[in-house]
C-alpha cells in the first residue's frame, strides 16, 4: 500500500488528509457550535456548514477509496487536484477577509487566525505529497 501511494511521505500525507477531512466534515455535520467557533453564529451558517461538511465527507471518502484501491480507483491526482483547488480558494478567501478586501461575517470583531490556518493544512499536505512523488 505504501508503494502504491508513492512512498512513505506521500502515504503519510494521504493518511493525514483523510484524518483532517474526516475531522472537519464530521464537525461541520454534527457539531452545531463548530460554525460558531469560526465566527459565523447564524442558523443559516450552521445549515450551510452542514452541506459543506457532506461535501468534504464525500471528498474524504473518495481519498480513502483511492488509498485502498476500492472500485478500481487508483489515480489520486484528480482527487488531490480538486481538493487542492477547493482548499486553496478557501485559504485565499480567508486571507482576503483578514486583509478586509472582502467583507467578513465577523464584522468589527477580531478575525480568528485559525480560520486562515484550517484550509492551509490540506494545501501544504498536498504540496508536500506532490513534491515527494
C-alpha angle with apex 23: 42 to 11, nearest 5 degrees? 145
Residues 6+ apart with CB under 8 A from 80: 17, 63, 126, 129, 130
Say how many domains are in the chain: 1
Query: Residue 11 contacts by C-beta under 8 Å, 6 or more apart in sequence?
Result: 1, 2, 5
Quote the domain boundaries for residue 48: 2-131
CA distance 101 to 35: 22
**N-term to C-term CA, the chain:** 14
96 or 45, which is more confident: 96
pLDDT tens for 88-125 read 988 888 888 888 888 877 677 777 788 788 889 989 98
Amino acid at each position: 500500500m505504501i508503494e502504491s501511494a508513492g512512498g512513505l511521505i506521500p502515504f503519510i500525507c494521504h493518511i493525514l488528509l483523510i484524518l483532517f477531512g474526516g475531522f472537519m466534515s464530521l464537525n461541520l455535520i454534527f457539531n452545531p457550535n463548530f460554525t460558531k467557533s469560526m465566527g459565523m453564529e447564524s442558523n443559516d451558517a450552521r445549515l450551510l456548514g452542514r452541506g459543506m461538511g457532506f461535501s468534504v465527507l464525500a471528498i474524504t471518502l473518495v481519498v480513502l477509496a483511492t488509498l485502498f484501491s476500492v472500485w478500481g480507483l487508483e489515480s489520486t491526482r484528480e482527487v488531490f487536484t480538486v481538493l487542492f483547488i477547493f482548499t486553496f480558494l478557501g485559504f485565499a478567501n480567508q486571507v482576503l477577509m483578514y486583509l478586509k478586501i472582502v467583507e467578513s461575517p465577523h464584522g468589527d470583531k477580531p478575525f480568528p487566525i485559525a480560520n486562515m490556518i484550517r484550509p492551509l493544512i490540506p494545501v501544504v499536505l498536498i504540496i508536500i505529497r506532490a513534491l515527494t512523488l
